[in-house]
Structure 1
Amino acid sequence: MDNQSAALQQFVEAAKSKGASDDFLSAFLTRRGWPADEVYGALGRYWETLTGIAIPERAGSGESARDAFLYLLSFATLATWSTSLGSLIFSFIDYWFRDPLKSAYLENMRPALTWDMARIAIAYPIYLLVTRVTVREARNFPDRLQSGVRKWLTYIALLGTAGTMICDLVWFLNNLLAGEITERFVLKSATVMVIAGMIFAYYLSSLKSRRINVPQSKLRNLAFAGASALAVLTSFSIGMSIAGTPSQQRLLEADDVRIGNLHTIANAVNAWHRRETFRDPQATLPQNLNLLVQSGNLAFTATQDPETHMAYTYRPRMSNQYELCANFMSTEQPGHMGRMPHSDFWHHGTRETCYVFDATQPVPW
């Protein structure tokens, strides 16, 4: 015990001998600047000495590694689902308010959408579960609300959200002064402010709570859980409507493979034609795809449908023209969400579609 603690202990014992109450000493000393835990510690030592019995430790009270684990997990999952929710809404804004300079990104946005939705689907339920546990324990043990672990981690979370809002305001002001205000920019700034602002307000108000079971605390918890759940479910619904269901996306991906195979075959035919006409100006197109495979110009797998394993149709035509056909399974057109960026040349329906190529011209992509 240091000199200050010893002096505090002597004062407490002297005051108690004169009839001062614990409540009076606690209020008096804390107003004089003494930390509450040191005051309670001095009072505890006084009563332990007087009774000759150590104050028993209550099971489940105090700070522990378990507290740190729960709060760290809570804030880690909070950061995961909130940033993913913001990224998901950013993708919606880019999709609805398109920038012509980013058309290639929009055409293959689905991986970003599904990644954000997967992160939310895992992190958000875990966050709700862990938060429910911490709220229940705080209700049963009110001293948990004054836990140093809780306060430190909550203030770190507040620092992160406050920093996010400040950076967003700086970004907004910079673009405003530069004259680059657009619908996309305003909506994205508003998204960041709303998400970060809700989190900041919720955790700042929770720090001020000394009891978890008062009506205001219950209302705050329900409001935050309801608003976040509504935002997550709405974003999921919109994301599925834009990206499509997994079965739809599988059809689109298979059709992209078919288009890629036809593109590879066409390049191989053109390369054959250039080589043969260089040797003999009167040379014709290859009569079948097996010639290209045998010559090493084309892999055998590129000549077959990825699902049915049936060979693609190849038909030489008059002059330098030829035809390639494939059976497609989706009605989506290249350039739509979830498709690799192709030109309008590759439009197709759910049927056999044939494309005409000229061996002297570059293959469209």
Structure 2
Amino acid sequence: MAAGSAELERFIEQALIAGHSREPVQQALLDAGWSQAQIDGAMQQWASVDFPLPVPRPAASLSAREAFEYLVLFTALYLSIWHLGHLLFALINVMLPQGGNTFFSVVDSSRVRFSVSSLIISWPLFVWLSWRIARAVSRQPLKRLSTVRRWLTYLTLFIAAAVLIGDLISLVYALLGGELSLRFALKALVVGTLSGSVFGWYLHDLRREEEPA
């Protein structure tokens, strides 16, 4: 795969040096079997400027500080979503207790306190880091191509999709077995809403980042 990508980049460079415009080069590559995504990715390495030779765009670089910020950002996101879900589950248990359970038998106050404490720290941290990174990207758009950010975004999409699929399977299973209660349905709704929101947001963000600069 890496060798093929290098050959593609070398072909585009030589074609541009020879004076061919981008459209015929793209069409020739499509006819040869290259995908549009592969062609676009290779073409984006060369700036559309009026100059006799193809001018390369600056390559994205990653500093240790950026990697640290992204790792903390996504860790704060995971903590926020997990503990928000736990608090909503506890609220559902209080509103719809099973049998003759009382508030103290359906809710572990120490776990609720821990989730509240985690949210107080992790959510503001996530919001602040998101704002900080967005400001840095607006000043230097090339930062949006960060390798660490892309990997963590795809990992987040995978986790959110897996949780959402598992949630739907559990919901259908309970429905087919005649065991679907309001309490279970509300918890499934919480899981689906949280995972679906994360998936939708980062999918949109990823698509926006992959647009040509």
TM class by smaller structure: 0.7 to 0.9
State the shift of 1:208 in Å.
1.2
| Deviation string, structure 1 residues 205-232 (Cα, Å, up to 9, x no partner) | 11111499xxxxxxxxxxxxxxxxxxxx
Look up the SS of the partner of 1:100 in the other structure: coil
Matched letter for residue 175 of structure 1: A
Asked whether the 8 Å contact 2:12–2:43 carries over to 1, the reply is no
Distance 1:63 1:75 in 2: 17
Asked whether the 8 Å contact 1:12–1:25 carries over to 2, the reply is no
Are residue 168 (structure 1) and residue 139 (structure 2) matched?
no
Q: Which residue of 2 aligns with 1:111?
A: 110
Q: Which residue of 2 aligns with 1:275?
A: none
Are residue 74 (structure 1) and residue 73 (structure 2) matched?
yes
| Deviation string, structure 1 residues 322-362 (Cα, Å, up to 9, x no partner) | xxxxxxxxxxxxxxxxxxxxxxxxxxxxxxxxxxxxxxxxx
State the shift of 1:30 in Å.
6.5
Distance 2:5 2:176 in 1: 56
Q: Which residue of 2 aligns with 1:208?
A: 207
Q: Which residue of 2 aligns with 1:215?
A: none
Matched letter for residue 20 of structure 1: H
Matched letter for residue 65 of structure 1: A
| Deviation string, structure 1 residues 93-142 (Cα, Å, up to 9, x no partner) | 11111112654853663212211100100100110011112211221222
Distance 1:89 1:120 in 2: 12
Asked whether the 8 Å contact 2:171–2:188 carries over to 1, the reply is yes
Report the structure, 1 or 2, having the larger helix content: 2
Identity %: 24
103-112 vs 25-34, greater mean Cα deviation: 25-34
Larger RCO, structures 1/2 (Cα 8 Å, 6+ apart): 2
For residues 36 and 144 of structure 1, do their structure 2 counterparts lie closer, same or farther at Cα, with a shift above 3 Å needed? farther
Look up the SS of the partner of 2:178 in the other structure: coil
Asked whether the 8 Å contact 2:157–2:203 carries over to 1, the reply is yes
Distance 1:141 1:149 in 2: 16
Are residue 20 (structure 1) and residue 34 (structure 2) matched?
no
Q: Which residue of 1 aligns with 2:91?
A: 92
State the shift of 1:151 in Å.
1.8
Radius of gyration: which is bigger? Answer: 1
Distance 2:157 2:116 in 1: 25
Asked whether the 8 Å contact 1:97–1:184 carries over to 2, the reply is yes
What is the root-mean-square deviation of aligned Cα atoms in Å? Answer: 3.5
Asked whether the 8 Å contact 2:61–2:146 carries over to 1, the reply is yes
Look up the SS of the partner of 2:208 in the other structure: coil
Matched letter for residue 94 of structure 1: N
Asked whether the 8 Å contact 1:142–1:210 carries over to 2, the reply is no
Distance 2:4 2:207 in 1: 33
The normalised TM-score by structure 2 is 0.76
Distance 1:191 1:4 in 2: 43
| Deviation string, structure 1 residues 156-205 (Cα, Å, up to 9, x no partner) | 10111111111111111222222222221111111111111111111111
Q: Which residue of 2 aligns with 1:267?
A: none
State the shift of 1:68 in Å.
2.4
Look up the SS of the partner of 1:62 in the other structure: coil
List runs of 5+ in structure 2 lacking aligned partners: 48-52
